[in-house]
A and B are shown apart, each in its own frame.
Chain A
Amino acid sequence: MANEPIRPSTPDGTAEQSRSHTTTPAAGPLRRVAAFAAGAPFTALVAAVEVAIATAALGVPASTAPVAVGLVAFSVYAADHVADAAGDVGSTPQRARIALRYGDQLMLAAAVSYGLAVALAVGAGPAALALVLVPGAVWVGYATDWLPTVAALVAPPGSVSVPRLKDVFLLNSAAVALAWAVAVVAAPMAFAGVPVDPTDAPTVALLFAYVAARSFVDVEVPNVRDVATDAAQGVSTLPVVYGVAGTRRILFGVDAVAGGLLVAVVATDAASGGVVAALAAGLVVSVTVTALADRLDGSTLGVAPDCSYLVAGAVLLAIGP
């Protein structure tokens, strides 16, 4: 009721809404732009570079794949940042503030970006279209909540609980890594209209495994930064479960696997020397970032793992495939 008195909620007589709150200081325009760029646009750039490297590694003709995958990455991450803005305030306050303030504009940009990616895919043919539609279809599935509905139909409610993929330990990072690997390896072929030749299969498989392993590391490293908030929210990540030192050992192991895959590439002559050199340079950056994981500050740790691809791309540009 409107006339109900506001009852003080504390012994000092202040009500919740009249007490002062500590807010993080607002950043200057330049820092805001930097914080925005470090989010979805940076991820989009990394995705584009990854696909360009994969294009060179697979030896398929140049196509619009890097641009399209970059656009999809932008729209997926921008939409995700808008959707999870309230929950991200603790871990990435700058990015969350932008997402809250410019939510509608970011969603418009994400929608146009995805539309553009689909248009590029349509121009490249049915296979490319099918590939680009996957994230959209997943999003529709999530947004319409048909997964829990189906689960509730199959099993009576209460007997089996279907957890969100995002909350399942290891499976969440593995799923993201696999999605990246599929996109990065399949896009160059789909957009160039190249069918998988049996003779090319080892190259495709090695590259797929390499990208999956590397992506897994890139996803888990920023979790070192979020260890406190994740633990508080009950989200299980490698640093939460095994501690920072344990996480570092595991990630070194995964990087070692990636290194082994590179050796296999060299041994089977599956890719050119330039590509192997570029991937090796990226691996070195990744190992370095993993080693320094607990000593880098939050915002640096958010972008540092992905920088390995930028280094690899620069190397590839410098020495040629």
Chain B
Amino acid sequence: MCVKNGMAALSPLSVALLVAVTVGLAAAILAWRERPEPGATWLSALLVGQVWWATFLVFELEAATLPAKALWYDVQWVGVVAVPVGWLFFALAYTGYDRYVTPFSVAAVCIVPAATVAVAAAGDPGNLLATERVVRETAVGTFLDVVPGPLYYIIAGYTYLLGAVGSVPLLQLIRDDARPFRGQSAALLVGTAAPWAGSVAYITGAIPIPGLDPTPLVFVISGVAYLLALSRFRLLTLAPAPRRRARQLVFEQLHDPVFVVGTEGYLVDLNESAAETFGIDRRAAIGQPAASAVPRYDAVRDLADGGDKPRAIPIVGRDGRRPYEATVRDVVDDHDRTSARVITFHDVGAYLGQQQRLNVLNRVFRHDVRTETNLIQGYAERLRSDATDERALSVIDRSAGRILELSERTRTAGKLFDPTEEYASSPLPDVVDEAVADAREIDPDARVEVGRVPAVAVSVVLRVVLKNLCSNAVRHNDGASPWVQIDATVADDWVDVTVADDGPGIDPAEYDVLDRGTETPLRHGSGIGLWIVKWGVDHLGGRIDFDEREPRGTTVTVSVPVDRSGVPSTDR
């Protein structure tokens, strides 16, 4: 058998390249193993490209003849063009710009590299890649000295372009707050800058050995850098890719409406909830003066950045009129300049309602139930001395009845605050009829008149509201035959229902308390009926007005949005 000992003949250059092959391939395997982490596949493609280039440069160096060297030189192009493509898409996927990594973009970016490989495979027709190839013997090895052709410069420029584009998102990471990402991106940039420096040195002729492209040699440095990034800085197990999307997602999916207003007062951005809640067309609104899109902008613009205690501002949106607390935050850039303000609206309706409910229930127990119990106790004493005292019996009976009624209404109020309750819609005439029937049951002598009631759909919560209003009007009327008139009108998707009576009128202190929303031991309402009306109207996002009638009586006007949940909507 013939004898040829390969190892002994290896040139110093080849030995150095074999080190690059070792670290490069090891890093490629580790990267490949991390799939499907963002960027893993592309990083291994980049590293395999480096290994390929170094491998076939060794073959070129060790080949004995010019044709053999030229063959291996041409094969190297596959690796040469794979490196920048792998780098670009790795950087994009790894930093979370994966929307740019599509089959189409990959194909488009690969056109120039594929053309280069095709030219090399076809034997470089027209000397596009190399105008001249000579074998140059040096102390470090015998390689092909190539005089670059036009395509060579094109692919070189293209490589620099892809490299620069890929470095931009990574450079952003270097300034990141999170230490692991700074370490990762620093290692990656060293890994990329090293071959670039080699390539620049070659093209500018700064290499002491003429004709030698040191780029593949410098892959030793990049291989070590990538290995470090993978094993030490957990490059792919802790990739920053999801952060961009996560932050975007939080803004978009935030339940609270958010507006971003630039320093000049124009709307810069708004989230899904803002568009939905206030019925704003996002495309049209962005770029418009903030006052035209941000609700009550005049009231919120002057809120200091996290300063004053926020106050609830009633705003009419898609869900009717609801109380919002607005907070304003300045967006500050790296130079401490305010570039925009973020206005967040927080719907505090449920919170305020719960507060009022606790407040009122507290009063009911502390005051109303206690008063009735005192009465019962007192008259029970009288019964003890005179068991035939009919008056005492009837007082106790009425008192107990009022406690029972309070308890019933408390249950109704509780239902209004049940977050799991889903309210159906019902035609307004049906709702009115039920309330009227209820009132007639309380006092068969009552004259209840119903005016024109348009047949629109309303939430069944309005039934609770109207039943309470009608029964109050009948119950608290001291006349022989109480009179109640119900009318309804519709305008702009809102229903106004008026309940008028000829009773003694509601004490202004009662609805003043409703208006302020809080009761105190000295200023409180009586019973819970009016509160149920208020909570029901608040729940529907509506409003309520009280007016005195001439010559006597009260007119209560309830305005609530028409219920569109059962109707296919056209504008969403």
Instruction: Assess whether A114 is interfacial by the CB under 8 Å rule.
Output: yes
Q: What residues of B have a CB within 8 angstroms of the CB of A116 in the complex?
A: 22
Shortest B36–chain A CB gap in Å is 11
Instruction: Assess whether B412 is interfacial by the CB under 8 Å rule.
Output: no
**From residue 86 to 130 of chain A, which have CB atoms closer than 8 A to chain B?**
104, 107-108, 110-112, 114-116, 118-120, 122-126, 129
Flag if B231 contacts A64 (CB, 8 Å): no
Considering the chains assembled together, what is the distance between the CA atoms of A123 and B17 in angstroms?
A: 10
Instruction: Assess whether A273 is interfacial by the CB under 8 Å rule.
Output: no
Instruction: Assess whether B30 is interfacial by the CB under 8 Å rule.
Output: yes
Flag if A194 contacts B21 (CB, 8 Å): no
Q: What residues of A have a CB within 8 angstroms of the CB of B108 in the complex?
A: none
Q: Which residue from chain A places its CB closest to the CB of B231 in the assembled complex?
A: A108
Q: What's the dominant secondary structure at chain A's contact region?
A: helix
Flag if B23 contacts A115 (CB, 8 Å): yes
Shortest A83–chain B CB gap in Å is 10
Flag if B3 contacts A122 (CB, 8 Å): no
Shortest A321–chain B CB gap in Å is 14
Instruction: Assess whether A280 is interfacial by the CB under 8 Å rule.
Output: no
Considering the chains assembled together, what is the distance between the CA atoms of A119 and B29 in angstroms?
A: 14
Flag if A122 contacts B55 (CB, 8 Å): yes
Q: Which residue from chain A places its CB closest to the CB of B4 in the assembled complex?
A: A193
Shortest A202–chain B CB gap in Å is 14
Instruction: Assess whether B19 is interfacial by the CB under 8 Å rule.
Output: yes
Total contacting residues, chain A, CB less than 8 A: 34
Instruction: Assess whether B76 is interfacial by the CB under 8 Å rule.
Output: no
Q: Which residue from chain B places its CB closest to the CB of A193 in the assembled complex?
A: B4
Q: What residues of B have a CB within 8 angstroms of the CB of A125 in the complex?
A: 6, 59, 62
Considering the chains assembled together, what is the distance between the CA atoms of A191 and B51 in angstroms?
A: 19
Q: Which residue from chain B places its CB closest to the CB of A83 in the assembled complex?
A: B33
Considering the chains assembled together, what is the distance between the CA atoms of A63 and B32 in angstroms?
A: 31
Flag if A126 contacts B59 (CB, 8 Å): yes
Considering the chains assembled together, what is the distance between the CA atoms of A194 and B3 in angstroms?
A: 7
Q: Which residue from chain B places its CB closest to the CB of A191 in the assembled complex?
A: B6
Considering the chains assembled together, what is the distance between the CA atoms of A59 and B14 in angstroms?
A: 28
Q: Which residue from chain A places its CB closest to the CB of B25 in the assembled complex?
A: A115
Q: What residues of A have a CB within 8 angstroms of the CB of B3 in the complex?
A: 61, 192
Instruction: Assess whether B304 is interfacial by the CB under 8 Å rule.
Output: no
Flag if B1 contacts A115 (CB, 8 Å): no
Instruction: Assess whether B2 is interfacial by the CB under 8 Å rule.
Output: yes
Q: What residues of B have a CB within 8 angstroms of the CB of A107 in the complex?
A: 30, 33
Considering the chains assembled together, what is the distance between the CA atoms of A193 and B9 in angstroms?
A: 13
Q: What residues of A have a CB within 8 angstroms of the CB of B55 in the complex?
A: 118, 122, 129
**Can you name 15 A-B pairs with beta carbons within 8 Å?**
A61-B3, A108-B231, A111-B25, A111-B27, A114-B25, A115-B25, A116-B22, A119-B18, A120-B18, A122-B17, A122-B55, A122-B58, A123-B18, A191-B6, A193-B4
| With A64-B7, A111-B26, A143-B33 already in contact, 11 other A-B pairs whose C-beta atoms are closer than 8 Å | A58-B1, A111-B30, A115-B26, A118-B55, A122-B17, A122-B18, A123-B62, A125-B59, A140-B32, A143-B32, A200-B1
